[in-house]
Structure 1
Amino acid sequence: MNTGSLWPTTLAELSKQHRNRSRGKVVFFSLLLWPALGFLTSYFTMKPYRSGAGSVLSRIIPDERIPLFLLSGYLVFQLFWTVVEAAWLFELERKGGTVEAVFLTPAPKMAFLYGRSLYSLFHGIWMFAVFSLLTFLFVSDASTVNWIALIPALLLIMAAAVIWGALLCAVSLFSRESSFLYYIFQTPMELFGGVRIPPSVFPVWATGLSALFPVTYSLILVRGALYGQIGTGWWRAFFILLAGSITLVFCTRYVLYRAEKHARKKGNWTLF
Protein backbone atom coordinates (compact mmCIF):
# COMPACT_ATOMS: atom_id res chain seq x y z
CA MET A 1 0.00 0.00 0.00
CA ASN A 2 1.31 3.42 -0.96
CA THR A 3 1.07 5.29 2.35
CA GLY A 4 2.07 8.56 0.69
CA SER A 5 -1.23 8.69 -1.18
CA LEU A 6 -3.48 8.01 1.82
CA TRP A 7 -4.48 11.63 2.32
CA PRO A 8 -4.91 12.51 -1.42
CA THR A 9 -7.07 9.40 -1.86
CA THR A 10 -9.20 10.32 1.14
CA LEU A 11 -9.68 13.87 -0.18
CA ALA A 12 -10.57 12.53 -3.62
CA GLU A 13 -13.23 10.26 -2.14
CA LEU A 14 -14.62 13.11 -0.05
CA SER A 15 -14.90 15.24 -3.20
CA LYS A 16 -16.54 12.41 -5.15
CA GLN A 17 -19.10 11.75 -2.44
CA HIS A 18 -19.91 15.46 -2.21
CA ARG A 19 -20.62 15.67 -5.95
CA ASN A 20 -22.74 12.53 -5.93
CA ARG A 21 -24.80 13.09 -2.79
CA SER A 22 -25.30 16.87 -2.55
CA ARG A 23 -28.03 17.31 -5.11
CA GLY A 24 -30.93 19.56 -4.24
CA LYS A 25 -32.06 21.27 -1.07
CA VAL A 26 -34.54 18.50 -0.26
CA VAL A 27 -31.64 16.23 0.67
CA PHE A 28 -30.44 18.66 3.33
CA PHE A 29 -33.97 19.17 4.62
CA SER A 30 -34.36 15.42 5.17
CA LEU A 31 -31.16 15.38 7.23
CA LEU A 32 -33.02 17.32 9.91
CA LEU A 33 -36.59 16.15 9.37
CA TRP A 34 -36.31 12.41 9.96
CA PRO A 35 -34.04 12.47 13.04
CA ALA A 36 -36.11 15.27 14.58
CA LEU A 37 -39.33 13.35 13.93
CA GLY A 38 -37.82 10.28 15.58
CA PHE A 39 -36.89 12.30 18.65
CA LEU A 40 -40.31 13.95 18.91
CA THR A 41 -42.13 10.65 18.39
CA SER A 42 -40.22 9.02 21.24
CA TYR A 43 -40.67 12.02 23.51
CA PHE A 44 -44.43 12.29 23.07
CA THR A 45 -44.79 8.51 23.33
CA MET A 46 -43.44 8.79 26.89
CA LYS A 47 -45.54 11.80 27.83
CA PRO A 48 -48.74 9.88 28.77
CA TYR A 49 -46.84 7.76 31.31
CA ARG A 50 -46.32 8.91 34.87
CA SER A 51 -42.72 10.03 35.25
CA GLY A 52 -42.74 11.87 38.57
CA ALA A 53 -41.23 10.85 41.89
CA GLY A 54 -41.98 7.25 42.81
CA SER A 55 -42.79 6.12 39.26
CA VAL A 56 -41.02 3.21 37.61
CA LEU A 57 -39.75 5.49 34.84
CA SER A 58 -38.15 7.89 37.31
CA ARG A 59 -35.94 5.08 38.62
CA ILE A 60 -34.38 4.81 35.19
CA ILE A 61 -34.66 8.33 33.77
CA PRO A 62 -35.30 11.30 36.07
CA ASP A 63 -38.32 13.32 34.92
CA GLU A 64 -36.35 16.46 34.06
CA ARG A 65 -33.83 14.45 32.03
CA ILE A 66 -36.17 12.65 29.62
CA PRO A 67 -35.72 15.20 26.76
CA LEU A 68 -31.95 15.21 27.32
CA PHE A 69 -31.87 11.41 27.47
CA LEU A 70 -33.73 11.03 24.17
CA LEU A 71 -31.95 13.87 22.40
CA SER A 72 -28.50 12.53 23.26
CA GLY A 73 -29.67 9.08 22.18
CA TYR A 74 -30.83 10.18 18.76
CA LEU A 75 -27.80 12.39 18.18
CA VAL A 76 -25.38 9.51 18.81
CA PHE A 77 -27.59 7.08 16.91
CA GLN A 78 -27.60 9.43 13.92
CA LEU A 79 -23.80 9.52 14.00
CA PHE A 80 -23.62 5.77 13.52
CA TRP A 81 -26.64 5.45 11.25
CA THR A 82 -25.20 7.87 8.68
CA VAL A 83 -22.14 5.64 8.23
CA VAL A 84 -24.38 2.56 7.99
CA GLU A 85 -26.12 4.33 5.11
CA ALA A 86 -22.72 4.77 3.44
CA ALA A 87 -22.35 1.00 3.27
CA TRP A 88 -26.01 0.55 2.42
CA LEU A 89 -25.66 2.84 -0.62
CA PHE A 90 -22.44 1.10 -1.66
CA GLU A 91 -24.35 -1.18 -4.03
CA LEU A 92 -25.22 1.79 -6.26
CA GLU A 93 -21.54 2.46 -6.94
CA ARG A 94 -20.86 -1.23 -7.44
CA LYS A 95 -23.62 -1.52 -10.03
CA GLY A 96 -22.47 1.72 -11.68
CA GLY A 97 -18.89 0.49 -12.05
CA THR A 98 -17.30 3.10 -9.77
CA VAL A 99 -15.90 0.51 -7.38
CA GLU A 100 -14.17 -1.37 -10.21
CA ALA A 101 -12.51 1.85 -11.36
CA VAL A 102 -11.28 2.61 -7.85
CA PHE A 103 -9.95 -0.87 -7.21
CA LEU A 104 -8.07 -0.97 -10.51
CA THR A 105 -6.05 2.09 -9.48
CA PRO A 106 -3.01 1.96 -7.15
CA ALA A 107 -4.87 4.14 -4.63
CA PRO A 108 -4.97 2.78 -1.05
CA LYS A 109 -8.27 0.97 -0.63
CA MET A 110 -8.42 1.67 3.11
CA ALA A 111 -8.30 5.41 2.37
CA PHE A 112 -11.18 4.93 -0.06
CA LEU A 113 -13.30 3.23 2.61
CA TYR A 114 -12.47 5.77 5.31
CA GLY A 115 -13.04 8.72 3.00
CA ARG A 116 -16.47 7.38 2.15
CA SER A 117 -17.35 6.83 5.80
CA LEU A 118 -15.98 10.21 6.88
CA TYR A 119 -18.03 12.12 4.33
CA SER A 120 -21.20 10.25 5.26
CA LEU A 121 -20.67 11.17 8.90
CA PHE A 122 -20.44 14.92 8.37
CA HIS A 123 -22.91 15.02 5.49
CA GLY A 124 -25.60 13.27 7.50
CA ILE A 125 -25.12 14.75 10.96
CA TRP A 126 -24.35 18.46 10.72
CA MET A 127 -27.94 19.74 10.46
CA PHE A 128 -29.32 17.52 13.22
CA ALA A 129 -26.28 18.38 15.35
CA VAL A 130 -27.15 22.08 15.09
CA PHE A 131 -30.75 21.28 16.04
CA SER A 132 -29.52 19.21 19.00
CA LEU A 133 -27.15 21.93 20.17
CA LEU A 134 -29.91 24.54 20.17
CA THR A 135 -32.24 22.16 22.00
CA PHE A 136 -29.56 21.32 24.57
CA LEU A 137 -29.47 24.99 25.53
CA PHE A 138 -33.09 24.74 26.68
CA VAL A 139 -33.28 21.25 28.20
CA SER A 140 -29.90 20.87 29.90
CA ASP A 141 -28.19 22.46 32.86
CA ALA A 142 -24.79 23.60 31.63
CA SER A 143 -23.47 23.69 35.19
CA THR A 144 -23.78 19.90 35.51
CA VAL A 145 -22.03 19.10 32.23
CA ASN A 146 -18.49 17.78 32.54
CA TRP A 147 -16.99 19.53 29.52
CA ILE A 148 -13.53 18.08 30.09
CA ALA A 149 -15.01 14.61 29.66
CA LEU A 150 -17.60 15.48 27.00
CA ILE A 151 -15.24 16.90 24.38
CA PRO A 152 -12.80 13.95 24.18
CA ALA A 153 -15.76 11.57 24.39
CA LEU A 154 -17.37 13.18 21.34
CA LEU A 155 -14.09 13.04 19.42
CA LEU A 156 -13.70 9.35 20.25
CA ILE A 157 -17.31 8.65 19.27
CA MET A 158 -16.91 10.35 15.88
CA ALA A 159 -13.71 8.38 15.23
CA ALA A 160 -15.47 5.17 16.27
CA ALA A 161 -18.36 5.94 13.92
CA VAL A 162 -16.01 6.46 10.96
CA ILE A 163 -14.19 3.20 11.74
CA TRP A 164 -17.51 1.37 12.12
CA GLY A 165 -18.69 2.70 8.76
CA ALA A 166 -15.47 1.70 6.99
CA LEU A 167 -15.83 -1.84 8.34
CA LEU A 168 -19.41 -2.10 7.06
CA CYS A 169 -18.30 -0.76 3.67
CA ALA A 170 -15.67 -3.51 3.54
CA VAL A 171 -18.29 -6.11 4.48
CA SER A 172 -20.59 -4.88 1.71
CA LEU A 173 -17.87 -5.67 -0.85
CA PHE A 174 -18.84 -9.33 -0.58
CA SER A 175 -22.25 -8.76 -2.16
CA ARG A 176 -23.94 -6.35 -4.54
CA GLU A 177 -27.03 -6.48 -2.32
CA SER A 178 -26.26 -4.19 0.63
CA SER A 179 -29.82 -3.60 1.80
CA PHE A 180 -29.38 -6.28 4.46
CA LEU A 181 -27.36 -3.73 6.43
CA TYR A 182 -30.51 -1.64 6.82
CA TYR A 183 -32.50 -4.48 8.35
CA ILE A 184 -29.67 -5.66 10.60
CA PHE A 185 -28.57 -2.31 11.99
CA GLN A 186 -31.46 0.17 11.86
CA THR A 187 -34.00 -1.07 14.40
CA PRO A 188 -31.70 -3.43 16.39
CA MET A 189 -29.08 -0.71 16.83
CA GLU A 190 -31.73 1.78 17.93
CA LEU A 191 -33.37 -0.67 20.34
CA PHE A 192 -30.44 -2.52 21.89
CA GLY A 193 -28.06 0.45 21.74
CA GLY A 194 -30.05 2.28 24.40
CA VAL A 195 -31.28 5.15 22.23
CA ARG A 196 -34.77 5.19 23.74
CA ILE A 197 -34.54 2.53 26.46
CA PRO A 198 -31.62 2.22 28.91
CA PRO A 199 -29.83 -1.14 28.50
CA SER A 200 -30.00 -1.55 32.29
CA VAL A 201 -33.66 -2.63 32.00
CA PHE A 202 -32.94 -5.31 29.39
CA PRO A 203 -32.89 -9.04 30.18
CA VAL A 204 -29.53 -10.79 30.07
CA TRP A 205 -29.78 -11.88 26.44
CA ALA A 206 -30.66 -8.35 25.27
CA THR A 207 -27.84 -6.87 27.36
CA GLY A 208 -25.46 -9.20 25.53
CA LEU A 209 -26.73 -7.93 22.19
CA SER A 210 -26.36 -4.30 23.28
CA ALA A 211 -22.69 -4.95 24.07
CA LEU A 212 -22.08 -5.65 20.37
CA PHE A 213 -22.99 -2.13 19.24
CA PRO A 214 -20.60 0.83 19.68
CA VAL A 215 -23.68 3.02 20.14
CA THR A 216 -24.14 1.49 23.59
CA TYR A 217 -20.74 2.61 24.89
CA SER A 218 -21.00 5.95 23.10
CA LEU A 219 -24.25 6.77 24.90
CA ILE A 220 -22.74 5.86 28.25
CA LEU A 221 -19.97 8.38 27.56
CA VAL A 222 -22.24 11.18 26.33
CA ARG A 223 -24.91 10.82 28.99
CA GLY A 224 -22.36 10.41 31.76
CA ALA A 225 -20.64 13.64 30.71
CA LEU A 226 -23.95 15.51 30.32
CA TYR A 227 -25.16 14.38 33.74
CA GLY A 228 -21.75 15.00 35.33
CA GLN A 229 -21.53 11.34 36.38
CA ILE A 230 -18.00 10.20 35.58
CA GLY A 231 -17.31 6.96 37.39
CA THR A 232 -15.90 3.48 36.89
CA GLY A 233 -18.61 2.56 34.38
CA TRP A 234 -17.86 5.65 32.31
CA TRP A 235 -14.15 4.88 32.11
CA ARG A 236 -14.87 1.24 31.33
CA ALA A 237 -17.04 2.28 28.40
CA PHE A 238 -14.36 4.74 27.24
CA PHE A 239 -11.60 2.12 27.10
CA ILE A 240 -13.87 -0.54 25.60
CA LEU A 241 -14.85 1.84 22.80
CA LEU A 242 -11.23 2.88 22.27
CA ALA A 243 -9.90 -0.69 22.23
CA GLY A 244 -12.81 -1.88 20.10
CA SER A 245 -12.23 0.87 17.53
CA ILE A 246 -8.53 0.01 17.24
CA THR A 247 -9.44 -3.65 16.81
CA LEU A 248 -11.97 -2.80 14.11
CA VAL A 249 -9.28 -0.99 12.11
CA PHE A 250 -7.37 -4.27 11.79
CA CYS A 251 -10.62 -6.16 11.16
CA THR A 252 -11.43 -3.76 8.31
CA ARG A 253 -8.03 -4.40 6.76
CA TYR A 254 -8.55 -8.16 6.97
CA VAL A 255 -12.12 -8.03 5.63
CA LEU A 256 -10.96 -5.85 2.73
CA TYR A 257 -8.25 -8.39 1.90
CA ARG A 258 -10.75 -11.26 2.00
CA ALA A 259 -13.27 -9.31 -0.09
CA GLU A 260 -10.72 -8.63 -2.84
CA LYS A 261 -9.68 -12.27 -2.82
CA HIS A 262 -13.32 -13.35 -2.96
CA ALA A 263 -14.02 -11.00 -5.88
CA ARG A 264 -11.10 -12.35 -7.89
CA LYS A 265 -12.27 -15.90 -7.30
CA LYS A 266 -16.05 -15.51 -7.64
CA GLY A 267 -16.44 -12.29 -9.63
CA ASN A 268 -17.08 -11.91 -13.35
CA TRP A 269 -15.23 -9.84 -15.94
CA THR A 270 -16.08 -6.66 -14.09
CA LEU A 271 -14.54 -8.12 -10.90
CA PHE A 272 -17.13 -6.61 -8.55
Structure 2
Amino acid sequence: AADPSATGAAVAALAALPREALAHDLKGALAPLARGAPPFEVVIHRRFNPESITAYNIVPGLLGVILSMTLVMMTALSVTREIERGTMESLLATPVEPLEVMVGKLAPYVLVGLVQTALILILAATLFDVPMGGGWLGLSAGVGLFIVGSLALGFLISTVARSQLQAMQMSIFYMLPSILLSGFMFPFRGMPDWAQALGQVIPVTHFLRVVRGALLKGQAFPDMWRELAALLAFVLVVTALAMARYRRTLD
Protein backbone atom coordinates (compact mmCIF):
# COMPACT_ATOMS: atom_id res chain seq x y z
CA ALA A 1 0.00 0.00 0.00
CA ALA A 2 2.83 2.41 -0.66
CA ASP A 3 0.79 3.80 -3.58
CA PRO A 4 -2.87 4.32 -2.55
CA SER A 5 -4.02 5.07 -6.10
CA ALA A 6 -2.53 1.83 -7.39
CA THR A 7 -4.02 -0.32 -4.63
CA GLY A 8 -7.50 1.26 -4.69
CA ALA A 9 -8.77 -0.86 -7.59
CA ALA A 10 -7.23 -4.03 -6.15
CA VAL A 11 -8.82 -3.45 -2.75
CA ALA A 12 -12.20 -2.83 -4.37
CA ALA A 13 -11.92 -6.08 -6.32
CA LEU A 14 -11.00 -8.00 -3.18
CA ALA A 15 -13.96 -6.53 -1.32
CA ALA A 16 -16.32 -7.88 -4.00
CA LEU A 17 -14.85 -11.39 -3.98
CA PRO A 18 -16.81 -12.83 -1.01
CA ARG A 19 -20.19 -12.23 -2.71
CA GLU A 20 -19.22 -12.86 -6.33
CA ALA A 21 -16.49 -15.53 -6.43
CA LEU A 22 -18.81 -18.46 -5.59
CA ALA A 23 -22.03 -17.04 -7.04
CA HIS A 24 -22.15 -19.75 -9.76
CA ASP A 25 -21.46 -22.58 -7.34
CA LEU A 26 -23.69 -21.76 -4.38
CA LYS A 27 -27.34 -21.97 -5.43
CA GLY A 28 -30.66 -21.72 -3.67
CA ALA A 29 -30.45 -21.52 0.10
CA LEU A 30 -26.67 -21.67 -0.09
CA ALA A 31 -26.50 -18.48 -2.13
CA PRO A 32 -24.55 -15.76 -0.26
CA LEU A 33 -27.35 -13.22 -0.56
CA ALA A 34 -29.95 -15.70 0.63
CA ARG A 35 -27.96 -16.53 3.77
CA GLY A 36 -27.35 -12.84 4.44
CA ALA A 37 -23.62 -13.33 4.85
CA PRO A 38 -20.81 -14.10 2.41
CA PRO A 39 -19.38 -17.63 2.42
CA PHE A 40 -15.89 -16.35 3.33
CA GLU A 41 -14.21 -13.17 4.44
CA VAL A 42 -11.25 -11.29 2.99
CA VAL A 43 -9.05 -9.47 5.50
CA ILE A 44 -6.69 -6.91 3.97
CA HIS A 45 -3.50 -5.90 5.76
CA ARG A 46 -1.90 -2.79 4.28
CA ARG A 47 1.86 -2.49 4.50
CA PHE A 48 4.03 0.66 4.55
CA ASN A 49 1.04 3.05 4.36
CA PRO A 50 -1.86 1.46 6.25
CA GLU A 51 -3.89 4.69 6.39
CA SER A 52 -3.58 5.23 2.60
CA ILE A 53 -2.26 8.77 3.02
CA THR A 54 -1.75 10.12 -0.49
CA ALA A 55 0.94 12.58 0.58
CA TYR A 56 3.25 9.69 1.45
CA ASN A 57 3.25 8.75 -2.23
CA ILE A 58 3.00 12.17 -3.91
CA VAL A 59 5.54 14.17 -1.89
CA PRO A 60 8.52 11.80 -2.44
CA GLY A 61 7.61 11.69 -6.11
CA LEU A 62 7.84 15.47 -6.30
CA LEU A 63 11.56 15.16 -5.65
CA GLY A 64 12.16 13.58 -9.04
CA VAL A 65 9.81 15.94 -10.87
CA ILE A 66 11.26 19.12 -9.34
CA LEU A 67 14.86 18.04 -9.94
CA SER A 68 14.05 17.22 -13.56
CA MET A 69 12.29 20.53 -14.18
CA THR A 70 15.01 22.67 -12.68
CA LEU A 71 18.25 20.89 -13.52
CA VAL A 72 17.54 19.92 -17.13
CA MET A 73 16.12 23.31 -18.05
CA MET A 74 18.72 25.37 -16.18
CA THR A 75 21.62 23.54 -17.77
CA ALA A 76 20.16 23.66 -21.27
CA LEU A 77 19.40 27.38 -21.01
CA SER A 78 22.72 28.36 -19.42
CA VAL A 79 24.88 26.83 -22.14
CA THR A 80 22.60 28.00 -24.95
CA ARG A 81 22.64 31.52 -23.50
CA GLU A 82 26.41 31.64 -23.86
CA ILE A 83 26.13 30.72 -27.53
CA GLU A 84 23.60 33.49 -28.12
CA ARG A 85 25.68 36.10 -26.27
CA GLY A 86 28.91 35.13 -28.01
CA THR A 87 30.84 34.12 -24.88
CA MET A 88 31.10 30.56 -26.17
CA GLU A 89 33.62 31.77 -28.76
CA SER A 90 36.11 32.59 -26.01
CA LEU A 91 35.55 29.17 -24.46
CA LEU A 92 36.08 27.38 -27.76
CA ALA A 93 39.36 29.28 -28.24
CA THR A 94 40.80 27.64 -25.12
CA PRO A 95 42.46 24.21 -25.28
CA VAL A 96 39.91 22.57 -22.96
CA GLU A 97 38.39 19.21 -23.82
CA PRO A 98 34.61 18.62 -24.12
CA LEU A 99 34.56 16.62 -20.87
CA GLU A 100 36.29 19.47 -19.05
CA VAL A 101 33.75 21.95 -20.37
CA MET A 102 30.92 19.66 -19.30
CA VAL A 103 32.31 19.18 -15.79
CA GLY A 104 32.90 22.91 -15.37
CA LYS A 105 29.38 23.77 -16.47
CA LEU A 106 27.61 21.09 -14.43
CA ALA A 107 29.54 21.21 -11.16
CA PRO A 108 27.71 24.27 -9.72
CA TYR A 109 24.32 22.76 -10.56
CA VAL A 110 25.20 19.56 -8.70
CA LEU A 111 25.33 21.64 -5.54
CA VAL A 112 22.00 23.23 -6.48
CA GLY A 113 20.46 19.79 -6.89
CA LEU A 114 21.77 18.61 -3.52
CA VAL A 115 20.36 21.71 -1.79
CA GLN A 116 17.00 21.15 -3.46
CA THR A 117 17.00 17.50 -2.38
CA ALA A 118 17.78 18.34 1.24
CA LEU A 119 15.13 21.07 1.31
CA ILE A 120 12.42 18.83 -0.17
CA LEU A 121 13.18 15.99 2.25
CA ILE A 122 13.12 18.36 5.24
CA LEU A 123 9.78 19.84 4.16
CA ALA A 124 8.38 16.37 3.48
CA ALA A 125 9.24 15.25 7.01
CA THR A 126 8.15 18.42 8.82
CA LEU A 127 5.07 19.55 6.88
CA PHE A 128 3.65 16.25 5.56
CA ASP A 129 5.03 13.79 8.13
CA VAL A 130 6.39 11.56 5.37
CA PRO A 131 8.08 8.59 7.04
CA MET A 132 11.84 8.36 6.62
CA GLY A 133 12.22 4.61 6.55
CA GLY A 134 15.94 4.59 5.92
CA GLY A 135 17.86 3.21 2.98
CA TRP A 136 20.03 6.30 2.96
CA LEU A 137 22.94 4.68 1.12
CA GLY A 138 20.83 3.65 -1.83
CA LEU A 139 18.92 6.92 -1.74
CA SER A 140 22.16 8.92 -1.78
CA ALA A 141 23.45 6.93 -4.74
CA GLY A 142 20.15 7.37 -6.57
CA VAL A 143 20.08 11.13 -5.94
CA GLY A 144 23.67 11.52 -7.13
CA LEU A 145 23.10 9.53 -10.33
CA PHE A 146 19.82 11.27 -11.08
CA ILE A 147 21.28 14.74 -10.61
CA VAL A 148 24.27 13.99 -12.85
CA GLY A 149 22.03 12.34 -15.45
CA SER A 150 19.61 15.28 -15.51
CA LEU A 151 22.47 17.76 -15.90
CA ALA A 152 24.06 15.68 -18.66
CA LEU A 153 20.72 15.61 -20.47
CA GLY A 154 20.48 19.38 -20.20
CA PHE A 155 23.99 19.69 -21.62
CA LEU A 156 23.00 17.35 -24.48
CA ILE A 157 19.97 19.52 -25.24
CA SER A 158 22.21 22.60 -25.33
CA THR A 159 24.41 20.95 -27.98
CA VAL A 160 21.36 20.48 -30.21
CA ALA A 161 19.41 23.70 -29.57
CA ARG A 162 20.37 26.87 -31.42
CA SER A 163 18.48 29.26 -29.14
CA GLN A 164 17.12 29.45 -25.63
CA LEU A 165 13.59 29.04 -26.97
CA GLN A 166 14.53 25.75 -28.62
CA ALA A 167 16.26 24.59 -25.45
CA MET A 168 13.16 25.35 -23.37
CA GLN A 169 10.88 23.56 -25.83
CA MET A 170 13.09 20.47 -25.80
CA SER A 171 13.18 20.51 -22.02
CA ILE A 172 9.38 20.64 -21.84
CA PHE A 173 9.19 17.85 -24.42
CA TYR A 174 11.22 15.72 -21.99
CA MET A 175 9.24 16.80 -18.92
CA LEU A 176 5.78 15.76 -20.12
CA PRO A 177 6.59 12.03 -20.51
CA SER A 178 8.51 12.17 -17.24
CA ILE A 179 5.37 13.26 -15.40
CA LEU A 180 2.83 11.15 -17.26
CA LEU A 181 4.70 7.87 -17.85
CA SER A 182 6.92 7.53 -14.79
CA GLY A 183 4.26 6.45 -12.32
CA PHE A 184 4.08 9.84 -10.65
CA MET A 185 0.52 10.71 -11.69
CA PHE A 186 -0.82 7.28 -12.68
CA PRO A 187 -0.07 3.75 -11.41
CA PHE A 188 2.74 2.42 -13.58
CA ARG A 189 1.38 -1.13 -13.88
CA GLY A 190 -2.02 0.21 -14.85
CA MET A 191 -0.73 1.84 -18.03
CA PRO A 192 -0.73 0.11 -21.44
CA ASP A 193 2.25 -2.04 -22.38
CA TRP A 194 3.61 0.53 -24.84
CA ALA A 195 3.43 3.23 -22.18
CA GLN A 196 5.25 1.02 -19.68
CA ALA A 197 7.95 0.33 -22.29
CA LEU A 198 8.47 4.07 -22.80
CA GLY A 199 8.36 4.67 -19.07
CA GLN A 200 11.19 2.21 -18.47
CA VAL A 201 13.46 4.40 -20.61
CA ILE A 202 12.72 7.54 -18.58
CA PRO A 203 15.10 7.98 -15.62
CA VAL A 204 12.41 9.55 -13.43
CA THR A 205 10.64 6.17 -13.34
CA HIS A 206 13.59 4.44 -11.70
CA PHE A 207 14.38 7.39 -9.45
CA LEU A 208 10.83 7.45 -8.07
CA ARG A 209 11.13 3.78 -7.18
CA VAL A 210 14.39 4.46 -5.37
CA VAL A 211 12.98 7.40 -3.39
CA ARG A 212 9.70 5.73 -2.47
CA GLY A 213 11.40 2.45 -1.66
CA ALA A 214 13.92 4.13 0.62
CA LEU A 215 11.56 6.49 2.44
CA LEU A 216 8.41 4.38 2.67
CA LYS A 217 9.81 0.85 2.82
CA GLY A 218 13.32 1.33 4.18
CA GLN A 219 14.83 -0.62 1.29
CA ALA A 220 18.56 -1.22 1.46
CA PHE A 221 21.07 -0.87 -1.37
CA PRO A 222 20.70 -4.52 -2.57
CA ASP A 223 16.91 -4.05 -2.91
CA MET A 224 17.24 -1.23 -5.43
CA TRP A 225 20.32 -2.21 -7.43
CA ARG A 226 18.29 -2.69 -10.63
CA GLU A 227 16.98 0.85 -10.50
CA LEU A 228 20.43 2.23 -9.68
CA ALA A 229 21.92 0.27 -12.58
CA ALA A 230 19.31 1.78 -14.91
CA LEU A 231 20.19 5.28 -13.69
CA LEU A 232 23.90 4.59 -14.16
CA ALA A 233 23.28 3.36 -17.71
CA PHE A 234 21.31 6.53 -18.44
CA VAL A 235 24.18 8.70 -17.16
CA LEU A 236 26.75 6.88 -19.28
CA VAL A 237 24.67 6.94 -22.48
CA VAL A 238 23.65 10.61 -22.19
CA THR A 239 27.19 11.70 -21.29
CA ALA A 240 28.60 9.86 -24.29
CA LEU A 241 26.02 11.45 -26.60
CA ALA A 242 26.72 14.90 -25.17
CA MET A 243 30.46 14.48 -25.74
CA ALA A 244 29.84 13.28 -29.28
CA ARG A 245 27.50 16.20 -30.02
CA TYR A 246 29.71 18.88 -28.47
CA ARG A 247 30.66 21.40 -31.16
CA ARG A 248 34.19 22.74 -31.25
CA THR A 249 33.06 25.52 -33.57
CA LEU A 250 29.97 27.72 -33.69
CA ASP A 251 29.27 26.86 -37.35
Q: TM-score range by the shorter chain?
A: 0.5 to 0.7
1:214 paired with 2:203, answer yes
Residue 236 (structure 1) aligned to one of 216, 226, 230 = 226
- The match for 1:80 is 68
Specify whether residues 218 and 179 from structure 1 end up closer, same or farther in structure 2 by C-alpha distance, changes over 3 A only.
same
1:68–1:140: 8 Å Cα contact kept in structure 2?
yes
Specify whether residues 118 and 82 from structure 1 end up closer, same or farther in structure 2 by C-alpha distance, changes over 3 A only.
farther
1:202 paired with 2:191, answer yes
Specify whether residues 65 and 223 from structure 1 end up closer, same or farther in structure 2 by C-alpha distance, changes over 3 A only.
farther
2:71–2:147: 8 Å Cα contact kept in structure 1?
no
- The match for 2:244 is 254
Specify whether residues 180 and 131 from structure 1 end up closer, same or farther in structure 2 by C-alpha distance, changes over 3 A only.
closer
Structure 1: runs of 5 or more not aligned: 1-45, 265-270
- The match for 2:57 is 69
- The match for 2:104 is 115
Q: TM-score, normalised by structure 1?
A: 0.63
1:151 paired with 2:140, answer yes
- Output aligned runs, 1:15-30, within 5 Å: none
Specify whether residues 178 and 122 from structure 1 end up closer, same or farther in structure 2 by C-alpha distance, changes over 3 A only.
same
Distance, in Å, in 2 between the alignment partners of 1:88 and 1:122 is: 18
Distance, in Å, in 1 between the alignment partners of 2:211 and 2:110 is: 17
Structure 2: runs of 5 or more not aligned: 14-43
Distance, in Å, in 2 between the alignment partners of 1:239 and 1:128 is: 21
Distance, in Å, in 1 between the alignment partners of 2:216 and 2:113 is: 26
- Aligned-pair distance for 1:236? 1.6
Specify whether residues 124 and 156 from structure 1 end up closer, same or farther in structure 2 by C-alpha distance, changes over 3 A only.
closer
Specify whether residues 225 and 124 from structure 1 end up closer, same or farther in structure 2 by C-alpha distance, changes over 3 A only.
closer
Specify whether residues 118 and 78 from structure 1 end up closer, same or farther in structure 2 by C-alpha distance, changes over 3 A only.
farther
Distance, in Å, in 2 between the alignment partners of 1:220 and 1:113 is: 28
1:78–1:125: 8 Å Cα contact kept in structure 2?
no
Q: TM-score, normalised by structure 2?
A: 0.68
Q: How large is the RMSD of aligned CA atoms in angstroms?
A: 3.4
Specify whether residues 212 and 53 from structure 1 end up closer, same or farther in structure 2 by C-alpha distance, changes over 3 A only.
closer
- The match for 1:97 is 86
Identity score, percent: 23
Aligned residues: 209
